[in-house]
Amino acid sequence: MTEPREKQIGFELPVVQTPPNILTGISDDFQSAIFPLVYLDPKFHEYHGTAFCIGVLANGQMIFVTAKHVLEPLLNKSTINAYLLVPHLVQDVPGRTAVLALPIDAISASESHNDAAMVRCDLRMTNGIDLIEIRRMPIKMTPAVVGEHTLALGYSRHQIKDQDFTRDFRASDGTVEEVHNKSSDSYFGDYPSFQTNAIYDAGMSGGPVQGPNGGWIGIVTRGSQVLEEVEPWAYATPTACLGELKIELEADDKTKRDWPFPDLVSAGIVEVQRGVAFTLIHESTGLRLEWEEPGV
């Protein structure tokens, strides 16, 4: 990170506008698990992507999933700071909403061709630990299937201006059109992905993609602009790509160690719904995802 941990602090911003969502009921259900990921310069003008929580520890550490390309400023050693913005009701002020900015204090991204990533936040670095509840989302290691329905969630066009926060929580549904488990696809070529005909707006990158049976099977990666006479396309990274990541966590005795993703699952920190066995294979041309056939 660009600043020592002890110098990173949380802060609050008022929410001045929440545009209506196309699926209004969904916002309340997932507001406590899916958050904007922003980069703030001194004038509070920058914004970027989305992240969703998959692990909450009793000591206040939390693990979130996002897309690797969302973290490029941090991976490139940028001097700006990254935060997750968590909405909550202001105590003693009925009806007023604010966001608590949680500093990102660790990241996990593969050096290989893999657009899945994890970040860590710590409520102990803020004064808001009693103000909010952050819930983890169970994920599912299941391959996408052509023709099946998907639903992607994320924050589109969220922005900070004059220290006020405007957010737009969106849901975008579509159908799986192509599945690329090997290290190439129709347009971009170096990581496993599946293509849908949904519309992934700017800012939704890193949000979760749900499969037809309710499991979160993908991570929003990129999408096209809506243009006349051009069919939209959108790509998601399978959640199985998280399998090669690891992130540092601090134990109650203050010791720290890296936790590979499988260890997070076996320890119950991350909940994975029953899925299909898989293997991630690194090749010179990229990352290949190999699913085990049912019954094998």
pLDDT, one tens digit per residue, over 61-90 is 999 999 999 998 888 876 778 888 887 655
What was the pLDDT predicted at 7? 47
The structural domains of the chain, with segments of one domain joined by +, span: 5-139
What was the pLDDT predicted at 276? 87
What was the pLDDT predicted at 96? 57
Closest by Cα among 243, 235, 237 to 282: 243
Which CA distances in Å does 11 have to 2, 15, 26, 34?
A: 18, 13, 26, 18
What was the pLDDT predicted at 20? 45
Q: For the chain, report the end-to-end CA distance as a whole number of angstroms.
A: 44
What was the pLDDT predicted at 233? 79
- Among 2.40.10.10, 3.30.1510.10, 1.10.1660.10, 2.40.128.30, name the CATH number for the domain at 5-139: 2.40.10.10
Can you tell me the distance from the alpha carbon of 156 to that of 200, in angstroms, rounded to the nearest whole number?
Answer: 9
User: 3-class secondary structure for 147-174?
Assistant: CCEEEEEEECCCEEECCEEECCEEEEEE
Q: Which residues of the chain have pLDDT under 70?
A: 1-29, 31, 41-47, 78, 88-97, 127-132, 157-167, 185-189, 225-231, 294-296
What was the pLDDT predicted at 3? 45
What was the pLDDT predicted at 2? 42
User: 3-class secondary structure for 96-150?
Assistant: CEEEEEEEEEEEEECCCCCCEEEEEEEHHHCCCCCCCCCCCCCEECCCCCCCCEE
**Strands 139-140 and 272-273, sheet pairing:** parallel
Residues 6+ apart with CB under 8 A from 143: 179, 181, 217, 238, 240, 276, 278, 291
